[in-house]
Amino acid sequence: MIASNTVLHEIAEVFHFEFWLRYYFIEERDTKLYISLTEEQAKQMKTQFPDYWEMVESMLERSLSPELSQRVVVEFIQLNMAGKKFPVNVVPKIFDTKDFSIEMILFNTWVDLHEEQLMKKIYSFDYWINAYQEWKESDQAKTLALSLTVQLQQESQAVN
């Protein structure tokens, strides 16, 4: 179970990073949205997050869409994790787990709850992850996670 928790955590972090990138570095041009980095931001990001730089580059100067975001993240995970960090067959299974769904919902909830604070300045991705992990330890987050677990189990049982 620990191995799959590690896989889940690392895969979720790729999604979180891509979300963070879009959250702070989005620019509208001709009614389309793009990731836009200054030279300094690009240099800093490349230095601080070399593992994710390939993903950042693949999004630069491309019109953003939910499909592009999903494709870039999944391709990044397939190229850099499946078969390299983790067994090939483990990675796709994570996407179908209730734990992965709950992780994504919790992260989006955390962002929604803290949006006012997060918009005050550009916080580093490390700050986001640390603040999110602290929030996940709160009673509020644990209650939400439990509620989501029950809800997903009930939905799963209703389908079967």
pLDDT for the residue numbered 3: 47
pLDDT for the residue numbered 160: 60
For residues 109 and 144, the answer to whether their CB atoms sit within 8 Å is: yes
The pLDDT tens digits for 43-59 are 999 999 999 999 999 99
Tokens of 156: 């799963």
Q: What is the CA angle 103-107-108, rounded to 5?
A: 120
Q: Distance between CA 127 and CA 110 in Å, rounded?
A: 13
- Cα torsion through 102, 103, 109, 111, rounded to 10: -170
The pLDDT tens digits for 73-116 are 999 999 998 888 888 888 888 888 999 999 999 999 999 999 99
